[in-house]
Amino acid sequence: MQINSTRHLDKLCAAAHASRTAERCWSGITRFFENCKKKVAGKKGFPKFKKNQRSVEYKKAGWSLSEDRKFVTFTDKNKIGKLKLIGTRDLHFYQKDEIQRVRLVKRADGYYCQFVIDSDLASEEVEPTAKCIGLDMGLTDFYTDSDGNKVDNPKYLRQSEKALKRLQRRVSKKFKGSSNKKKAINQLGRKHLKVSRQRKDFAIKLARCVMKSNDFVVYEDLKIKNMVKNHSLAKSISDVSWGIFKEWLQHYALKFGKVAFAVSPHYTSQECSNCGAIVKKTLSIRTHICKCGCVLDRDENAAINILMKGLRLMGYILNTVGHTEINACGEKTLYLDLETFLKQGHSLKQESHL
């Protein structure tokens, strides 16, 4: 919820909260020594002092909500006082005991108040669709599923790149320390914030649609941190927001009582989905052509392989050579078994240990 008063908040964000600062310091030191003991490759995360704070967090004490839930009052020594809350979220739905923490966060377009609620994930009843799909992530298309359907990559950063460059030039032309430079920096920050929100909004809505339309979803376990080391594709990989999409797939799978999990992406593009033979091809080759006569789009072939990997891991397919048994066993039998499996209440976390 956005707040419409910024009195003393800049000072508060700079000073931060004493108890929260101590927690961050201790957790940083602990993480550093754990990484050293485990001999983690690369940087170990040596704790560094962070001068500019953009958020402050309160626990149970130091704040209070008004009876009408439209105002929040901070009673600590920072003298923030009473702030009005602006938003559509109805806080009457939650009791004060359920609110574990309150955060004040500074964004480019204003200050926000976040309430951390201790509650179970509200489940939503959705009728089973008796469908299972595999998803192959891409840069040209956001994903291609095992049925051959494609979702275009919106490329929000690429669309806004011209405007971002123009705003960046304005910032560089302003005098350091001037009010005009601060305004230009704020305009640039607002544009970046809009791009970030567009990505998140797209990923959330798409993940909800995918999980609502299917009972069993398998996707690639991509190592995005390693993939962005390719400087030719780093910007495109960051812009496509695969990580956010996977997180919300997991969220809606638990919410709707369905199954979504990741499998290793190795050889999913090279292996033939019909006979299992390895057909080597570079990134520029977009069509899968096998000696067995199978001709498919490269991404669709990979999506089918991803789905088959997931079905094998769950025990629905027992063969390891080719994928002809999926047609032999029949869709109705597969879907009935899957529906029985879903009714048993197995979550993704439980299945991952099998």
Q: Kindly give, in sequence order, each residue whose CB lies less than 8 Å from that of residue 254, ignoring residues fewer than 6 positions away.
A: 121, 347, 348
Whether 90 is catalytic: no
- Residue type, position 275, single letter: C
Please calculate the CA angle 44-50-51 and round it to the nearest 5 degrees: 160
Whether the pLDDT of residue 216 is over 60: the answer is yes
List 57, 215, 299, 300, catalytic entry: 299
List 136, 215, 271, 300, catalytic entry: 136
Q: Report, as an integer, the average pLDDT of 172-189.
A: 94
The predicted structure's pLDDT at residue 328: 32
List 220, 239, 271, 300, catalytic entry: 220
Here the tokens at position 158 are: 């690429």
pTM (global) more than 0.75: yes
The predicted structure's pLDDT at residue 79: 76
Read off the pLDDT of residues 16-37 as tens digits, 9 standing for 90 and up.
445 566 777 788 888 888 888 8
Whether the pLDDT of residue 207 is over 60: the answer is yes
Which of 100-104, 176-180, 344-348 has the weakest average pLDDT? 344-348
- Residue type, position 167, single letter: L
Read off the pLDDT of residues 270-315 as tens digits, 9 standing for 90 and up.
888 888 888 888 888 888 888 888 888 898 999 999 998 888 888 7
Whether 136 is catalytic: yes
Whether 325 is catalytic: no
Tell me the residue length of the chain.
Answer: 354
pLDDT band at 58 (very low <50, low <70, confident <90, very high): confident
Which of 64-68, 71-75, 194-198, 311-315 has the weakest average pLDDT? 311-315
Here the tokens at position 286 are: 């977009």
Nearest Cα to 155, choosing from 174, 138, 167, 173? 138
The predicted structure's pLDDT at residue 184: 95
